A and B are shown apart, each in its own frame.
Chain A
Amino acid sequence: MSGDAAPLLTARCLSKLFGGVVALDSLDLDVFGDDILGLIGPNGSGKTTFFNVVTGIYPASEGEIRFDGRDITNLSTQAIYRSGIARTFQRSRLSLPLSIFDNIMIGNHKRLNHGLWFNLVRRRAFQAELEENVATARELVRIFDAPLSERLLDPVGGIPMIDRRRVEICRSLISKPRLLLLDEPSAGMTGEETRLLMDDILEVKSRFRDLTIIIVEHEMGVIERITNRCVVLNFGQKIAEGTYREVAADRQVQEAYLGME
């Protein structure tokens, strides 16, 4: 996988401090095109912080992030989204009063026309763009769940957790990002729901050829099943890297998780 190809995303000496707390500690990390990279580690080991720094929600305290050969350290969240990185959130951050379609369209911001004149006066042109997007959104949701794709005007607040997760992932995928960051997609779901969602993610991966995924997850079964490579964090540092089997056998990893001396 790694081979000689240049990595899609690299972090070099990346640090993030919150006051005296070191959330990320000189982290070096490479993500290659086509990876499904599992990012694992105990609570508070810096996984979500890493996502927040990559997507520009927090500025990095030190170090550099390159995406597709370009320095994206401390760019605005908007610029990072436009460059092709999309994410989901640990605590599902959908707009509950809005419809499924509206929520997905929020993720398509960079491909919509936001001009006042276009939106208010050229209603025919707007309708054409709208219908095109309805079709795209329906196709995308159908990959996950066919019945759900027929209910795009239902409010998100009224659908079950697994469908909310699906909508959230659709919101991230609709703009055709090159890198997708999934922050604990199984949170709050049953084992069976988690299994279904992972089927969906593998299906998405097989359809979107050049999509790279980083997934933060606590369910080791999920990690074992869908990742091809794992990075283990502890106290903001990388303590192991390799396939799931390799890192699971790693002594340091076992210590971090089980607290063995």
Chain B
Amino acid sequence: MSERGPANTAATVPHTRNPLPALAVAALATAFLITLLLVESQVGIAALIAGAAIATIAAARQGLLTRITAGLATREDLLGALCVAGVLVVTVFFHEDHFVLLMVATLILFVVATLGLNIQFGYTGLINFAGSSFLGVGSYTAAVLTMHTALPHLLVLLMGGVMAAAIGSLLLLPVLRTRGHYSAVVTIAFALLFKTFLEVNDILGGPQGLAVAGMDLFGWSFNDNIVIGDDFELSFYANYVLLSLAILVVAFIFVRRLDRSWIGLNLDAVRLDETAAACFGLNILRWKITAFTLGNFLIGVAGALYGMMLGFIAPANFTFGDSLILVSIVLLGGLGNAWGLVVATAIVVIIPEKLQAIQEYRFLLYASMVILILLFRPQGLIPRPLRTYFPGFRTR
């Protein structure tokens, strides 16, 4: 990839290029995911989750985790490719299972959305408690556009992002005029307002919601099962897994490059000390607007495809509680760490779905997870490493 650049320049002295850690982690994660999704008994699932948690803590205690992450840092492209392969393996493995594939696609779209939130919150320090509302803006845009226009569906996805960014810009004025907690309160107000607005608005279906047409990509209808040969049939949700995976890959590379650039540095500077940043010429408003808009765009794109996948959306899908879940994913994963988001989203999306016993108490679970993380590991499950502008970046 062009990320790596010429091999023997001053800034990129190649050192450990061992592919083993990436291979091992990806294989292990895939195998664990498949087992977890296969097991039906509640006791079995609980045992698997507890086992994974204990193994992780033990590895961290032994210092193994730091060594693995250090090994992965130089092979991020490979790890990414292997994770994509892992998702494909899971998809083929569960090819007939609608429920699992819907869950996988949801997970992937949530990662895209939290990547957007991460630009705002993790990098720039703008806390957005209306993440789910912007997801909703994307979904409702998709619903209206597919119902009333013949716009190609890829453009519908793009419009979902554009609409979220545009509606976000309405929020910009109060968000930029306030700081810290107060701008967070503004986004909370927006989240509540958005849901109420949808409920009383008859054109948008009111509390009953709207039907959204399924994705149709150049005549390839996503709501039909994929039939290969005579007897191999994939659930139609596999279509959504593939497309959301493609979107995630683009979004992930985008966010990684953003972080590893002067822009990422500017966003950090704004978060850490606005006054000092302004003394060195940073236009604080410009970078806050950039972060807020880019973040909402990503959330909106994810929302548009999410709506098309669900087929039916209602205000109850986009509540303040859902926004809190998105924020807790960012906190859990490690503020500013894109890889951490993948792990955290998997935990938050899969565990309550599989452990039916705690389904009722999932908010309690999220809340206690956030409190525990903030108390004992405020930097998140996978803390954000120092900025390396390129893999293997050295200053000598």
* A124-B261 contact in complex given A81-B281, A131-B10, A135-B10, C-beta closer than 8 Å: no
CB–CB A123/B396 < 8 A? no
Q: Please tell me if A82 contacts chain B, counting CB pairs below 8 Å.
A: yes
CB-nearest residue of chain B to A181: B279
Residues of B within 8 A of A110 (CB): 281
A87 at the binding interface (Cβ < 8 Å): yes
Interface string of B270-290 (1 = CB under 8 A from A): 001101111111110000001
Name the B residues within 8 Å of A254 (CB-CB). none
B258 pairs with A95, CB closer than 8 A:
no
**CB within 8 Å for A130 and B281 given contacts A106-B269, A119-B261, A124-B2:** no
Contact between chains at B279 and A119 (CB < 8 Å): no
Of A82, A95, A124, A138, the contact of B281 (CB 8 Å cutoff): A82
Question: Of A93, A124, A155, which contacts B273 at CB under 8 A?
Answer: A93
Cβ of A258 under 8 Å from chain B: no
List residues 345-396 of chain B with CB under 8 A from any CB of chain A: 386-390, 393-396
Residues of B within 8 A of A171 (CB): 280
Is B45 part of the binding interface, using a Cβ–Cβ cutoff of 8 Å? Answer: no
Contact B280 A95 (CB under 8 A): no
Stretch of A96-104, A187-195, A205-213, A222-230 at the chain-chain interface: A96-104
Using CB atoms, name the residue of chain A closest to B262: A112
Interchain CA distance A75-B168 in the complex, whole Å: 30
Q: In the bound complex, what is the Cα–Cα distance between A81 and B279 (angstroms)?
A: 6
Residue A57, interface by CB 8 Å: yes
CA distance A45 to B20 in the complex (A): 63
State in angstroms the CA–CA spacing of A180 and B263 once bound together.
26
On whether the beta carbons of A93 and B387 are closer than 8 Å, the reply is no
Residues of B with C-beta under 8 A to A21:
none
Residues 158-176 of A at the B interface (beta carbon under 8 Å): 171, 175
For the complex formed, measure the closest distance between the CB of B274 and the CB atoms of chain A, giving whole angstroms.
10
* B interface footprint on A82-118 (CB within 8 Å = 1, 0 otherwise): 1000110100011111110110011101101110100
Question: Dominant SS at the B interface?
Answer: loop
Q: Which residues of A contact B386 (CB under 8 A)?
A: 98-99, 102, 153, 155
Q: How far is the CA of A107 from the CA of B395 in the complex (A)?
A: 18
Q: Given A95-B269, A112-B262, A119-B262 in contact, is the A55-B279 Cβ separation under 8 Å?
A: yes
Q: Which of A64-86 contact B (CB under 8 A)?
A: 76-78, 81-82, 86
B12 to chain A, nearest CB (A): 8
Bound together, the chains give a CA A65 to CA B85 distance in angstroms of 63
CB distance from A108 to the nearest CB of B (A): 8
Q: Given known contacts A77-B279, A98-B387, A150-B396, is B5 in contact with A113 (CB within 8 Å)?
A: no
Considering the chains assembled together, what is the distance between the CA atoms of A131 and B390 in angstroms?
11
Interface residues of B in 238-272 (CB under 8 A from A): 254, 257-258, 261-263, 265-266, 268-269, 272
* 12 contacts across the A-B interface (CB closer than 8 A): A78-B282, A89-B276, A98-B387, A99-B387, A102-B386, A105-B262, A113-B262, A119-B263, A126-B262, A127-B9, A131-B10, A131-B11
- Extra pairs beyond A78-B278, A101-B395, A126-B262 (16, CB < 8 Å): A55-B279, A77-B279, A98-B265, A105-B262, A106-B276, A106-B280, A114-B263, A116-B263, A123-B2, A124-B2, A124-B5, A127-B9, A130-B390, A138-B395, A152-B395, A153-B393
**Chain A residues in contact with chain B, CB under 8 A?**
55, 57, 76-78, 81-82, 86-87, 89, 93-99, 101-102, 105-107, 109-110, 112-114, 116, 119-120, 123-124, 126-127, 130-131, 134-135, 137-138, 150, 152-153, 155, 171, 175
